[in-house]
């Protein structure tokens, strides 16, 4: 039996890597992948806490909804990145100034 702390350490490391990747990198595709890492860290935490309370499946249910939201976010995000690439020929977030006045 793996202790809960080990799951939380791995989830914390995933969350830190995702945060660092989102803040440091300027490529929108890498930022989307970093956002997916953040959501997977949250899922790991939810499932780990659900393992402590095996009679209640709330953590797994929330993880399922987070996965559904992440899939929708990836689809919308990739569509936006594709549209930006067609207009600007770049996927750098610094050059995404289409909404500025």
Q: What mean pLDDT value characterizes the chain?
A: 89
pLDDT at site 8: 96
Contacts for 7 with CB less than 8 Å, ≥ 6 apart: 44, 45, 47, 48, 51
Q: Which CATH number applies to 4-92: 1.10.287.3510, 1.10.287.130, 3.40.50.10800, 3.40.50.720?
A: 1.10.287.3510
Q: What is the pLDDT of residues 51-88, one digit of tens each?
A: 888 888 888 999 999 999 999 999 998 998 888 888 88
Give the side-chain half-sphere CA count within 13 A for 80: 16
Look up residue 31 and give its two tokens.
Answer: 């930022």
pLDDT at site 101: 52
Q: Is the backbone of residue 89 left (phi > 0), alpha (psi -120 to 50) or beta?
A: left
- What sign for the dihedral angle of Cα 81, 87, 88, 93? negative
pTM of the predicted structure, to 2 decimals:
0.84
């Amino acid at each position: 039996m793996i202790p809960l702390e080990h799951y939380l350490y791995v989830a914390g490391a995933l969350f830190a890597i995702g945060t660092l990747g989102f803040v440091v990198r300027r490529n929108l595709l890498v930022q989307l992948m970093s956002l997916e890492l953040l959501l997977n860290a949250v899922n790991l935490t939810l499932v780990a806490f659900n393992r402590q309370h095996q009679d209640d499946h709330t953590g797994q249910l929330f993880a399922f909804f987070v996965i559904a939201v992440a899939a929708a976010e990836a689809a919308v995000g990739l569509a936006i990145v594709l549209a930006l690439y067609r207009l600007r020929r770049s996927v750098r977030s610094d050059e995404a100034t289409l909404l500025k006045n």
